[in-house]
């Protein structure tokens, strides 16, 4: 009997990362199998048609069909990691108001309908340098995250409109050095790296862990990664969180951390 059903991310939501995304799920499955847990991996389509009754679901899927399937699993009383609510909370149009309402360092950000947004910008309501990000999932192709000034926003919005994207996030640029991080609830930071070739300023690693864990609690996400900006003064700003990343720089360690967390939760709740 299958005890854990592991659902792969849909290829459209993993542009250029299909192999890495598949591998972190496969390594997690292998780590669970080493502990005597029976794991089955499936695509969203295979899971929908398979009729599997596994009590624990590992979910990397992000699209509407996958989330509807996860909603059904939750309604049936199964343990789903990450939960569909947490995955939806990582859609930027939900993430932004949640993180803005929290007591943590998150840049000024606005969720904007691309239609009609230009007039507000043209009136000078916003100034400086900004990032324009698609408002739902994190990335499906080039142009999903672009840096723009007020002068170039009209062109950027028109590009999003031409792709059928209705909402974008306008996020104020924070000068500094980008940090990529990977983490698991209860296991802390699995890894963090400077995104650029040169290291950035010194900061307290404990402060980084506290910041990203606060963001994850706000969103309800258990397996996550994202981006932080470290300013020259050592201040840290959380700028993005994404559900179940590929753990590209630390896949073996990431899989072990995920498996440890899954086993702890499942056993605590009597699922395994």
What domains can you pick out in the chain, each with its CATH number?
Answer: 4-82+250-268 (3.40.50), 108-172 (3.30.1490.20), 177-243 (no CATH)
- On whether the CB atoms of residues 147 and 170 are closer than 8 A, the answer is no
DSSP β-ladder status, 109-113 and 56-59: unpaired
Per-residue pLDDT tens digits of the chain, which is 272 residues long? 899 999 999 998 988 889 999 999 999 999 999 999 999 999 999 999 988 899 999 999 999 999 999 999 999 999 999 999 999 999 999 999 999 999 899 999 988 888 765 656 545 556 778 888 888 876 666 678 888 877 777 788 888 888 888 888 889 999 999 999 999 999 999 999 999 888 999 999 999 999 999 999 999 999 999 999 999 999 999 999 999 999 999 999 999 999 999 999 999 999 99
129: tokens are: 């340098």
Give the model's pLDDT for residue 207.
Answer: 97
Say if residues 109 and 170 touch (Cβ distance below 8 Å): yes
pTM of structure: 0.94
DSSP code per residue over the chain: --SEEEEPPPGGGSTTTHHHHHHHHHHHHHHHHTTT--EEEE-HHHHHHH----SEEEE---SHHHHHHHHHHHHTT-EEES-HHHHHHTSHHHHHHHHHHSSS----EEEEESTTHHHHHHTTSS-SEEEEEESSSS-SSTTSEEEEEGGGHHHHHHHHHHTT--EEEEEE---SEEEEEEEETTTEEEEEEESSSS------HHHHHHHHHHHHHHHT-SEEEEEEEE-TTS-EEEEEEEES---TT-HHHHHHHHHHHHHHHHHHTT--
User: What per-residue confidence (pLDDT) applies to 154?
Assistant: 79
pLDDT value for 117: 56
Structure confidence at residue 144 (pLDDT): 83
Q: What is the pLDDT of residue 129?
A: 83
pLDDT per position as a tens digit, 49-95: 988 899 999 999 999 999 999 999 999 999 999 999 999 999 999 99
The pLDDT assigned to 145 comes to 87
pLDDT score for 119: 56
pLDDT given at position 122? 46
């Amino acid at each position: 009997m299958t005890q854990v059903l592991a659902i792969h991310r849909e290829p459209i939501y993993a542009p250029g990362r299909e192999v890495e995304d598949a591998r972190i799920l496969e390594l997690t499955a292998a780590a669970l199998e080493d502990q005597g847990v029976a794991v089955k991996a499936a695509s969203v389509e295979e899971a929908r048609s398979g009729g599997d009754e596994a009590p624990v679901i590992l979910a990397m899927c992000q699209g509407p069909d996958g989330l509807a399937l996860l909603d059904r699993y939750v309604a049936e009383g199964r343990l789903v990691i990450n939960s569909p609510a947490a995955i939806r909370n990582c859609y930027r149009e939900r993430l932004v108001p949640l993180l803005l309402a929290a007591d943590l360092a998150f840049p000024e950000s606005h969720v904007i309908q691309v239609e009609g947004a230009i007039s507000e910008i043209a009136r000078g309501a916003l100034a400086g340098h900004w990032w324009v990000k698609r408002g739902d999932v994190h990335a499906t192709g080039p142009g999903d995250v672009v840096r723009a000034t007020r002068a170039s926003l009209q062109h950027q919005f028109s590009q999003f409109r031409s792709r059928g994207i209705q909402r974008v996030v306008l996020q104020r640029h924070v000068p500094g050095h980008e940090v990529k991080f990977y983490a698991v609830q209860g296991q802390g930071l699995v890894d963090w790296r400077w995104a650029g070739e040169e290291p950035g300023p010194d900061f307290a690693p404990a402060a980084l862990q506290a910041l990203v864990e606060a963001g994850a609690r706000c969103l309800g996400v258990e397996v996550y990664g994202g981006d932080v900006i470290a300013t020259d003064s050592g201040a840290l700003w959380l700028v993005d969180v994404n559900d179940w990343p590929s753990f590209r720089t630390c896949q073996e360690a990431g899989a072990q951390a995920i498996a440890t967390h899954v086993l702890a939760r499942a056993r605590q709740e009597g699922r395994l």
